[in-house]
A and B are shown apart, each in its own frame.
Chain A
């Protein structure tokens, strides 16, 4: 693996569900330490892209490649991708009544980072520190995974997992949706703590530029109708905030 090899590389990716193609040839490279943002309206294919990278079985890949550190991901199941270093912060995290948060975190960390990382004082200290960072009280550990959590608690719990699992690639699917300003600030603090200064790459999927004020992206891409129509620096997010997406839609002149 060369130093300049992207942590995530997507080449000409075509993806559909139940016979309908949603992504029409996506190309994206994320280098180590880079944060990319994909912005787009509802239904533009953002969640399809995130779910496909994670390996959701409902999505059919008709052509294209996805690789992590040069290794083909498409033949791997979701759990294998997670163990290779892919993390998805879900837009709608699943509740699992009966599965305690503390047990789940240990099991997940053991699966991805090895048994030794999930026990002893090192784990306890990492857990304590991450919980403080995202303002999650200790009482959460005895609750059930996402069961009865508020929208903000679910998102903070996703970021807690991100911090503990230390992935090579973090995909954050609308982590800011449903959060108030304080909530966005807290999850952003967690994202920055997990990604900034590390070798990890991150892909932030969002409608709005607000979270990008707290987690500065290196690159911003605009996804419209399953295609990346424009890419740029962080200033593109501000431009979208001011101008919306209409100027980039087909028939208008702004698209690439």
Chain B
């Protein structure tokens, strides 16, 4: 039994009173439904790295089987469980110092269709500029994906996670540390998996780091999406924004919980969070709970908000007055709602690629 397995098995099942597990209990996320079990039959999904044009990702190093620990403390249950499933080993993607490319990178993750788990670790070099679009697609019964990383001094990273798995459950844990004066745009585009439980955390523990977290999520049919986003401002002069848009249709449930933490010493931190849910059917449910913990008095700003509602009738009338039928107007407004965050995730090429990736899922929202 490895250390992660031991660590996991020593833990109690987290209670529903825990902020992280309030809406999606661990038992429901666990691949077998029995929290006392660590399944043996775990496969590693196939991965591939290319450029958006289908070319080779030159200059990027990929190493398999590295022993990499999670860069900071998170949920003990999720972290130890995924570490146990991946045997503490990660695929390490390293972007060299000063590396720049016009072509975004596509990291394809293709599950085997059974129980899969993978740990992907990304390190960006000093003053590098990279866009990585991680795409999960194909059929999956259960996929656990642990994504860790560290950005280099003065680097720019656009990191977009696109879930297009046809079905199954996704358990995702992200832990990213931002280096000094580095800038990260972190996008989540969710248009797949029947159940999703994501625990996404960022540590701004170097001065001058800058984070923009964006979500464009489509929740349709019987889907259950639960995303927890935790942003910790630890160093002075750090900046973060979160814009999280979920379009909720069918009989689906979506949950967005935010934790914005300004620690003592994070002077001049500037942070804001906004969750926005568009309710497209009477049966769709959406819960957004942003929370703040502010321990520093000297902050530029720290705010949070949430908005839930149906399609705006004035906007709908405006589009109908321009010849769009009621359904066309609604479709256009849903697409616009998701696009307003999607379009901030990268340049025009990335935007076009993302639109293409979610277009078919938009049709499914009407069901």
Binding site for B on A (CB under 8 A): 54-57, 77-79, 82-83, 87-88, 90, 93-94, 96-99, 104, 107-108, 111-112, 144, 161, 165
Contact of B336 among A78, A88, A98 (CB under 8 A): A98
Contact of A96 among B319, B323, B326 (CB under 8 A): B319
Q: Which residue of B lies closest to A112 (CB)?
A: B323
With A56-B317, A94-B318 as given contacts, are A108 and B324 in contact (CB-CB < 8 Å)? yes
Q: How far is the CA of A144 from the CA of B332 in the complex (A)?
A: 12
Q: Is the CB of B318 within 8 A of A82?
A: no
Q: Is the CB of B318 within 8 A of A57?
A: no
Q: How many residues of B are in contact with the other chain, CB < 8 A?
A: 25
Taking the closest CB of chain A, its distance from the CB of B324, in whole angstroms, is 6
With A57-B317, A94-B314 as given contacts, are A99 and B332 in contact (CB-CB < 8 Å)? yes
Q: How far is the CA of A34 from the CA of B320 in the complex (A)?
A: 26
Taking the closest CB of chain B, its distance from the CB of A247, in whole angstroms, is 35
Q: How far is the CA of A94 from the CA of B342 in the complex (A)?
A: 21
Q: Is the CB of B340 within 8 A of A98?
A: yes
With A93-B318, A94-B315 as given contacts, are A79 and B326 in contact (CB-CB < 8 Å)? yes
Whether B329 is near chain A, meaning CB under 8 Å from some CB there, is yes
Whether B161 is near chain A, meaning CB under 8 Å from some CB there, is no
Q: How far is the CA of A60 from the CA of B200 in the complex (A)?
A: 50
Binary per-residue interface labels of chain B (291-318) against chain A in the complex, 1 for a CB within 8 Å, 0 otherwise: 0000000000000000000001011011
List 13 A-B residue pairs with CB atoms under 8 Å apart, sorted by A's residue number. Answer: A57-B317, A79-B323, A79-B325, A79-B326, A79-B328, A82-B320, A82-B322, A90-B318, A96-B332, A97-B340, A111-B324, A144-B336, A161-B322
Which chain A residues lie closer than 8 Å to B326 at the CB level?
77, 79
Which chain B residues lie closer than 8 Å to A77 at the CB level?
320, 326
Which chain B residues lie closer than 8 Å to A56 at the CB level?
317
Q: Which residue of B lies closest to A78 (CB)?
A: B320
Binding site for A on B (CB under 8 A): 312, 314-315, 317-326, 328-329, 332-333, 335-340, 342-343
Taking the closest CB of chain B, its distance from the CB of A36, in whole angstroms, is 20
Residue of B312, B317, B339, B340 contacting most chain A CB atoms (<10 Å)? B317
Q: Is the CB of B318 within 8 A of A111?
A: no
**B interface secondary structure, majority:** helix
Which chain B residues lie closer than 8 Å to A112 at the CB level?
322-323
Q: Is the CB of A79 within 8 A of B318?
A: no
Q: How far is the CA of A55 from the CA of B335 in the complex (A)?
A: 25
Q: How far is the CA of A99 from the CA of B318 in the complex (A)?
A: 13
Q: Which residue of A lies closest to B322 (CB)?
A: A108
Q: Is the CB of A78 within 8 A of B343?
A: no
Q: How far is the CA of A163 from the CA of B336 in the complex (A)?
A: 24
Q: How far is the CA of A78 from the CA of B340 in the complex (A)?
A: 26
Which chain B residues lie closer than 8 Å to A78 at the CB level?
317, 320-321
Taking the closest CB of chain B, its distance from the CB of A57, in whole angstroms, is 7
Q: Is the CB of A96 within 8 A of B322?
A: no
With A83-B323, A108-B323, A144-B340 as given contacts, are A96 and B328 in contact (CB-CB < 8 Å)? no
Contact of A98 among B312, B329, B337 (CB under 8 A): B337
Taking the closest CB of chain B, its distance from the CB of A94, in whole angstroms, is 4
- 17 additional contacts, CB 8 Å, given A79-B321, A96-B318? A57-B317, A79-B320, A79-B324, A79-B326, A79-B329, A82-B320, A82-B323, A90-B318, A96-B319, A98-B338, A98-B340, A99-B335, A99-B339, A104-B322, A107-B324, A108-B323, A165-B322
Q: Is the CB of A98 within 8 A of B314?
A: no
Which chain A residues lie closer than 8 Å to B312 at the CB level?
94
Q: How far is the CA of A78 from the CA of B326 in the complex (A)?
A: 9
Which chain B residues lie closer than 8 Å to A88 at the CB level?
321
Q: How far is the CA of A110 from the CA of B328 in the complex (A)?
A: 12
Q: How far is the CA of A9 from the CA of B103 in the complex (A)?
A: 59
Q: Which residue of B lies closest to A108 (CB)?
A: B322
Q: How far is the CA of A97 from the CA of B216 in the complex (A)?
A: 14
Which chain B residues lie closer than 8 Å to A104 at the CB level?
322, 332
Taking the closest CB of chain A, its distance from the CB of B320, in whole angstroms, is 4
Which chain A residues lie closer than 8 Å to B317 at the CB level?
56-57, 78, 94
Which chain B residues lie closer than 8 Å to A107 at the CB level?
322, 324, 328, 332
